[in-house]
Structure 1
Amino acid sequence: MISSRVRLARNLARFPFVNRATAEERAAVLEEVRQAIQAEPLFRECAWCRLEEMDPIARGLLVERRLMSPDFLQGSRERGLILDTKGIVSVMVNEEDHLRIQVLLGRMSLCEALRIASAIDRALYCLEFAFDQEFGFLTSCPTNVGTGLRASTMLHLPALKMSRAMPEIIAQSGRLGLVVRGAYGEGTTSAGALYQVSNQVTLGLTPEELTEKVEAVGSRLVEQESRARDALFNGSRELEDRIWRAWGTLVYARRLGLAEAMECLSLLRMAQEAGMKGPFEKVAWGPLFLSVQPAHVQAMKGRLLQEEETETARAELVRETLGRL
């Protein structure tokens, strides 16, 4: 289990939704939110960022760290981002909704993430959110109406992916009102066998019930993954060979594409967690998963890179990291 995230969608009642608002109205939303943030002591350790003032690498880093969404990059000029110093809380202003309040914590911490997000939500009630007594919080997308909450957990499920169990798991999750997607949400792939499990329904259940449901299914998938790993590692020389080939690729490759790097890292993390003996036992695989992402590689080099340059720099980074063992 990698991380937990709770996101709340909110809209200011006095303004049209973002996709219907004029530039002047979006700018007014941005200014009202900025003033509310500055007046609230809860945000005293947060930074206010204008997206248009950030360079492409900085924006990419925030997306890869899941502090803002890929869609946020494509929006209008009237966008703002509130970030805390610990990388736990972020608030996107004028994404799909006027506000996207997000809390990101390690491992299975959905209840704590919900507690923090709810405290931020209450602190911003002065903005007068759009709310209907019958339907709940009103949002730009009908699927978010109600609590406006998305609770998600990030899981590493390589054994279930290798055993081809994921299509059935995705189907079963849908029947439970949940959705299983790639690491960065809708439309993204499950690179490195990283999957995001989240609620699909926001209406008719309380925030606590929704987070408990996601947490229960996440825990069940972790148990299924454990059993799948036991079956795979039960005398499988083929899997052992794949793991050592992955190690050799990371140690010696001069160019590494993102998909290949993530696949190799996934195999070696699984081997480490299964107690397999080898030089990969002491590697902190979590930080490496993040370090090989494109914007992180470019940040390491201090400039934008072409694809070939990025692959070369990624391979260099991985070789140097593993070479220090």
Structure 2
Amino acid sequence: MLGIDSVSAYRRPFHLYPLFQIPLMFLGLFLVLAALFWLLGLGRPPVAVAIALDLSNSTYGDRFNAPGSVLESEIQAVNAYLDRNTPELLRQPNQVKVLGFAGVVRPLTEEFANNSEEVKEDLENALRRPGLEKSVIPGSTDLSRAINAGTDALSSREECRELLLVTDGQGDVSPTAIADATLNRVKLNSIVIGADAPALALAAVGTGGKYVSGNVNDLEQLFSNRFFGRFNSNLKWLIFWLACAWVALMWTLVLPFDRIILQGWRQMPMDMAGKIALGNAYFWTGLTPIIVWRIYKMLDLALPFLSQC
């Protein structure tokens, strides 16, 4: 009867077995897909963004859109966002519409457009429009009205719907405005300059958006990096393909783990080593989806294949 050493001598190298080769092929495939999605930006969602700017007189003082005012910083931040919203960076540039609000809401660009230069030109022309500052009733800040106007504008869009509101004021947000935004799948994102605005923070949480309280000097960075990156992220796909690669890696390592570590180094019997190696692969196959689900929930990401947003 042959001993264990004799049996081992006649076994084929582990890299010749399908149990090693097939997972290795899937591992390579998933890593290539992760690299392509990362390098080419594949999987980024189509996005429509309504930007609501606070035009109340607290944002500019005695002169509308005065140099150095909060309002001027708001406009510069919008332009910084539009500078990144180009075909060079995005396969599908965002559809953007700009609104101005105080006591009432006025459109600063008429339609959604993905041509950044056209949006900039329309915005500049609107800001030069005579009587604009008075037409928005600059002495008050109606956040609910601004949210409703943004929701109405986005409700007919087929893309992922993002409302980005920037204000230096505080006020109440009606539950109806939040409910309408949620019903129309509009995410409310807010930038509050100065003090916190708890009502907007709750509205952001309720609609799946993001709330930031910051300094006026941070507006350009928040618009062009944080929110632009958030709206156009394909992170959910990167996490998905890397998780698939991790599971494939665990199955690829079954035979090396069995032969080299357990039987070779730890001198375990063949049957016990095989069970442990397979058990490790099954363990990670079951645990990885749970970990990924928790990451998606923590980062507020939709599941791949089920939602484009």
TM-score by length of 1: 0.25
In our comparison, the structure showing a higher alpha carbon Rg is 2
Structure with bigger RCO (C-alpha 8 Å, 6+ apart): 2
Q: Quick check: which one's strand share is greater? A: 1
Normalised by the length of structure 2, the TM-score is: 0.26
